[in-house]
Chains A and B, each alone.
Chain A
Amino acid sequence: MKFKIKNNIFTEAINNVNRALSTKTPMPILKSIKMNLTDEGMHLTASDSNITIKQFIPTYINNEQNIMIDEIGSAAVPGKLLLEVLRKANDEYVEIAMFEEKFIHINFKNSDFTLNCLDVREYPNIKLISTNQPIELDSNQLNEIIKQTVISVATSETRPILTGVNIKIQNNVLHCVATDSYRLSEKNVSFDFELPDINIVVPGKSLLELERLLVNTKEKVQLHLSNNMISFKMDQIIFQSRLLDGNYPETSRLIPKEFGLEQQFNRQELIDVVDRVSLLTREGATNIIKFDIYEDKTIISLDSPEIGKVVEEVHPLQQEGSLIRIGFNSKYLLDALKVLKEEIVTIKFTGEVRPFIIKTDDDSLTQLILPVRIE
């Protein structure tokens, strides 16, 4: 392998795939980025075994030559080091050459780096999945789906399946559900074309990583789903993740259909109130706030015996139904409110010890929270 490449393009690409590299991996080869140079261009792959990012740099972009190829080939190059070297390279082009199958030369201006490489044949054989009927979404829309559901994934490993987001396609509707068994987020997106049914669970961590990658793109994203991988294809980047093995619990019956009390709030104002009230909570403890709902006002309070007490009165925009007193974890409410975009939110209660949901005009999204028993 021997070639010359525009440094800014190369560095950016390496930087993109670099997100998938992990410093802590029991597999030494996964500290490397795999380069595969063909006549069409350079394919870069990095993986921590959970997620894999592939990027392609075409030889020509708009008739402009980015890569001058001397000899095609492939190599496994230490990722972190390569990125450091390229970032500090003070030249428009860098020249890269492999020799003796175990060293790589990086040349620019007056510098000459030689890095030790691993045997590229030992790199995991990560098959890119590709389906005939991918789902196409705007990167914004995908980002929103992830943001609004991933808040509810479980962080503890006691039930590994709950650390992921359940993605299910049924009757051409995409259902995304996450729950840690104390709260639940559900987002449904309908499509007007035929989609094959599937039911998979994608690790929450992978989705968070994807979200970071999506921030920089404005393109359409293609979703390819299979029973052991999910892959997100962008223009030049492919993001692929392993799935969680096992059956996701049935959640459709958990969301109540009838409500005894509905309240409407201005979203931002409610966030501010809950945020203020939550001041009196200790880091790491569960923070139970109470809603005392009266005809003319709602008292939001928090009583933390070691720290103190706070009471704040709010007036919902609209209210309908029987009065209740309910307590729940303030963090869950804050998380749920923060990922919504609409100005007005409706909280729908069913009872003092029954789950309640948060809805907006956007009917596709439901946030559900379980209350705790208060004396």
Chain B
Amino acid sequence: MSLNQYKRIQPKVIKMLMNSYQKNRLAHTYLFEGEKGTKKKEIALEFAKLLYCENEGTVCDSCLNCMRISHHNHPNVLLIEPDNGTIKKEQVLYLQQEYAKTNLEEGPKIYIIDEIDKMSINASNSILKFIEEPLENTYTILITENIHRILPTIISRSQVLNFQPIPKKEIVEHLKKNEIDPYIASICAHLTNDLNEALEIANEEHIIDVIDLVKTVGQNILNKNEDLIVLLENSQVDIYKDKKQLAYFIDIMLMYMRDIKKLVHNNDNIIFNHELPFINKHLHLLSKEKIIYNIDRLLKAKISLEYNGNTVLLIDSLLINLM
């Protein structure tokens, strides 16, 4: 992707950075904050390229410096990412040592720390030490999805740039371009905010089965035809065994229930368009209270799954409550 493409996704951020760059008023520490998939890390690297590209004032993405930054081979551009979920003590130590040393090659030093919230308090305090006393010609970009977990002392010392979530339409378009059925595309777009992850989910083997399962379960909640647990046994996908599929199931089920709720309130922003006739026909059978109760149950199940609850109990209790 080029700078122009990022400009479409994050117009404000790019404009802000470009303006500061052109006026030579770059801050020494930036905090990039926004949801997953908002291209924070990519734009941070793009920023490094902007400072180094041989074609001044743009990012060509083909000169030697741009290539080296893309391949993490530039000695003055250092990217630190969590290793197995956390930023390790050694990584922070390495960063500290890098800060203390002279340059290998001439030019500005750029430090990018991804998911800085995955760092211990001690480690963030030592980071604080060097952003408090910024060196000349050194830029630090901190990245987080969780600004609430960042030390207030770090926030107060950096320029915070908010990354806007990627519009769902953009994701749907991206998926359609990759030959995903528009119907599945709109569902997958609501599962994540990340273009690549959405595509990955859409291409997953069982995703259609999970969607079908949601539909059957949904229909049975509406017309109370069959026992839900029995339904699961006949399904193509085993959500008892596969946690990932279970997580998708809960998320998509939530979408379905929300659609029902929207219909009750005559809101027409519906994801499950294909189901519209069926839902409308049976809508009167479900009370408003029951819909809200079901959404609440699903949300609780989602939390319980995050805390590694017993999946069999979780599914059974969820389905019994949904009926």
Contacts and interface: CB of A to CB of B under 8 A. Distances in A.
Nearest to B90: A24
B80 A28 contact: no
Contact of B102 (A30, A126, A243): A243
Interface residues of A, number: 30
Contacts of A50: 97, 101
A276 interface: no
A228 B104 CA distance: 8
A333 interface: no
B16 interface: no
A122 B101 contact: no
B236 to A, nearest CB: 41
B102 A27 contact: no
B104 A126 contact: yes
B306 interface: no
A125 B101 CA distance: 17
B67 interface: yes
Contacts of B78: 26
A28 B104 contact: no
Q: Which of A28, A123, A227, A242 has the most CB of B within 10 A?
A: A242
Contacts of A47: 104
B80 A26 contact: yes
Contacts of B72: 26-28
Interface string B72-90: 1111001110000000000
Interface string B58-71: 00000010011001
B75 A27 contact: yes
A242 B74 CA distance: 16
A122 B64 contact: yes
Interface string A77-99: 00000000000000000000000
Q: How large is the interface on B (under 10, 10 to 19, 20 to 34, 35 or more residues)?
A: 20 to 34
B229 to A, nearest CB: 50
A161 interface: yes
A47 B72 CA distance: 15
8 contacts: A27-B72, A29-B71, A121-B64, A124-B75, A125-B105, A160-B97, A229-B102, A243-B102
Given A26-B79, A28-B73, A122-B73, A157 B102 contact: no
B104 A160 contact: no
A30 B73 CA distance: 8
A203 interface: yes
Given A122-B73, A228-B103, 19 more contacts: A26-B78, A26-B94, A27-B72, A27-B75, A29-B73, A118-B73, A124-B75, A124-B105, A125-B105, A160-B99, A160-B100, A242-B102, A242-B104, A243-B102, A244-B100, A244-B102, A245-B102, A245-B135, A246-B100
B102 A28 contact: no
Nearest to A160: B100
Nearest to A205: B97
Interface in B197-227: none
A275 B45 CA distance: 54
A49 B99 contact: no
A163 B93 CA distance: 13
Contacts of A119: 67
A49 B95 CA distance: 13
B96 interface: yes
B60 to A, nearest CB: 15
A203 B100 CA distance: 10
